[in-house]
Amino acid sequence: MRIQVQLAINGETVKQDVLEIAEQKLGEMTDEEIESAIEVNIRTWMDRMVQVEWEVIEE
């Protein structure tokens, strides 16, 4: 299964990717389980792609 994901900031796409889940891993999963597996893969992708850095510049 291939899933296309897009990361947009302020309405502008800044990153696109295609995630793959091997069909044999999906086996006999229900639709709900497959949806959960997709969401886990997307969250993992997001964790790798997005970092937020900040610092106090004035107190």
pLDDT digits (tens, 9 = 90+) for 16-59: 999 999 988 888 899 999 999 999 999 999 999 999 999 999 98
- All residues at 6 or more sequence positions from 42 whose CB lies less than 8 Å from its CB, including other chains: 3, 5, 19
Whole-prediction pTM value?
Answer: 0.78
CA 54 to each of CA 8, 51, 57: distance values in angstroms, whole numbers, following the listed order: 20, 10, 9
Confidence check: pLDDT of 4 > 90? yes
Burial 22-46 (b: 16+ CB within 10 A, else e): eeeeeeeeeeeeeeebbeebeeebe
Question: Measured in Å, how far apart are the chain's first and last C-alpha atoms?
Answer: 50
Looking at residue 12, its pLDDT comes to 97
